[in-house]
Structure 1
């Protein structure tokens, strides 16, 4: 055998059969005997044969690959969504290519191009924080390739979307804090061009209005929702000298940063300041005190997103009407936001 990757021709030569027979055997063609299939599979393993998905896609029109683009894979939310996608994809003998944009617009554009070059059958994506033009996604649609957006979406693209009700989740958190007697609630948010943070801010504002609590712009701080951003925002609030009795962060990571700063300033949680986050990251149940948060139903979101993708894939010419699926969030109340009995 020549040096390099094994091909179906190498397998055929070893078994003294035709390459077309090998190809049919590997694709479980009913015209090929079970004995021949077993021999081909055994030889393929011996030669460490790896199928060429691009060549296969060119022949069949299907690569059995789905491109999944996330801002970052090291967050429990995104990794759990991917798990949900893979659960459905694997049941249908599809594989998932996971790519990260790292919140970088140029990286997102390059990754979409790479996925198209890999001949994926479709792309599932969550948009990066710095993305404000969408020509790279329009290119996907122009090629007739299915595109589904989840969590971070845009209304500038006519595609199906899967989200949780960010507005309702934020409203319920804020309402819970108000029910605990809080009237000066800090809100940590991110640039309003991102749909999820815009909706969470709206839920916060409406809960305050409903309770006839005045909106104070001095209590709202923007950041990138990382732990360090939570620290910076909390320090700003304290330096302003404004009074506050609760903090609601649109991110568990920023909530953790805020908690650290409160502790450093000898401000007790929850005795002096109640605290709540958003996302139900695993660490929120292990902090002292455990952090009240909102479960984003990440695995169900992944499964629903994959199901939506496959419905689109099997529809005629991918022309199935687009729709938006909104999942119900769950408020998880923990010690950080509760009055002590």
Structure 2
């Protein structure tokens, strides 16, 4: 064999004086090949540092055994938990994960999608950038036979495959908890108004107040673009009201961190002058001296694992039925209930 040249099945077959089809079956533990022959083939393959031709496998099985995962930010604990479960499940199924961060930039997100499409990933798991408004890429990927499963930040569209969290259950439990502690002046710091998740949270907030016969004070609902400055401005709107709220529910834990910092700058005390509950159970809360009153868990790890399992099912259907398989656009959805956890006080 020439130096630097990768060994092939033909090379192994020639040395052992058997057919290439026998070598191929032996390497794949086919029952028609005897144990002795299988051991001889595998031993020589190991000595020659033989590696399977991934391109050939792709053409034969119509899979690259790679999936793309695109997230807004890997630095967020929520997405770190999700990707850990995704990679564990992918590895156990002999898949490789290609990661991309959109940083909530729609143009960057689209570039990553196109790059993954060019690398022929078998499917994509995506938590959409918060500023994304156009989803034409779904149809483009469908035409290429690449299914997409969304989770967490999911477009408000029919015929999309997604794992979603029912944010209302956690909101109702949060309001119930505040009211049981004597709070009636309850405010809500919401995210960008265009997000489906923001709309769902707000609807639940209004419903939960009504369940306790608490009149809605529209001044108690404020919005943030989720930047540090936007988060601080949002809570200051509440603190500067003539009758400020005694309790606040926040869009997420990063909003809460900035809000609590702003509260302290105002000379107020968290969990004394004002109390917080927020989505989505930041792991570091347990190490803080004065954490929020409670958290609303959205189970990111479970969302990630379910998203990948759904993607595997779609990939298998795609391989079996071709790129025109309508199962890729059935719009399957799995809903997980959010839940109030870690009541710290």
Q: TM-score higher than 0.5 here?
A: yes
Partner of 2:250: 249
1:153 matched to 2:154: yes
* Paired residues of 1:12 and 1:19 also in contact (CA < 8 A): no
Shift of 1:132: 0.6
Partner of 1:44: 49
Closer/same/farther in 2, CA of residues 41 and 294 from structure 1, 3 Å limit: farther
Q: Deviations over 1:173-209 (max 9, x none)?
A: 1221122111222211111222222211211111112
Q: Which runs of 5+ in 2 are unaligned?
A: none
Q: Which runs of 5+ in 1 are unaligned?
A: none
* Paired residues of 2:27 and 2:41 also in contact (CA < 8 A): no
Partner of 1:238: 239
Shift of 1:144: 2.5
* Paired residues of 1:68 and 1:98 also in contact (CA < 8 A): yes
Distance in 2 (alpha carbons) for counterparts of 1:96 and 1:26: 28
Closer/same/farther in 2, CA of residues 42 and 201 from structure 1, 3 Å limit: farther
1:296 matched to 2:298: yes
* Paired residues of 2:159 and 2:332 also in contact (CA < 8 A): no
* Paired residues of 1:229 and 1:257 also in contact (CA < 8 A): no
Shift of 1:235: 2.3
Distance in 1 (alpha carbons) for counterparts of 2:223 and 2:138: 27
TM-score, scaled to structure 1: 0.85
Closer/same/farther in 2, CA of residues 28 and 209 from structure 1, 3 Å limit: same
TM-score, scaled to structure 2: 0.84
Partner of 2:171: 170
Provide the aligned C-alpha RMSD in A: 2.9
* Paired residues of 1:170 and 1:201 also in contact (CA < 8 A): no
SS at match of 1:161: strand
Distance in 2 (alpha carbons) for counterparts of 1:223 and 1:52: 51
1:322 matched to 2:306: no
Distance in 2 (alpha carbons) for counterparts of 1:75 and 1:27: 42
Q: How does 1:93-172 map to 2 (within 5 A)?
A: 93-172=94-173
* Paired residues of 2:100 and 2:112 also in contact (CA < 8 A): yes
Distance in 1 (alpha carbons) for counterparts of 2:54 and 2:214: 59
Distance in 1 (alpha carbons) for counterparts of 2:132 and 2:305: 25
Q: Deviations over 1:101-144 (max 9, x none)?
A: 11011111111111111111111111110111101122111223
Shift of 1:236: 3.0
Partner of 2:261: 260
Partner of 1:331: 340
Partner of 1:188: 189
Distance in 1 (alpha carbons) for counterparts of 2:150 and 2:53: 28
1:33 matched to 2:34: no
Closer/same/farther in 2, CA of residues 128 and 19 from structure 1, 3 Å limit: farther
Distance in 2 (alpha carbons) for counterparts of 1:229 and 1:11: 64
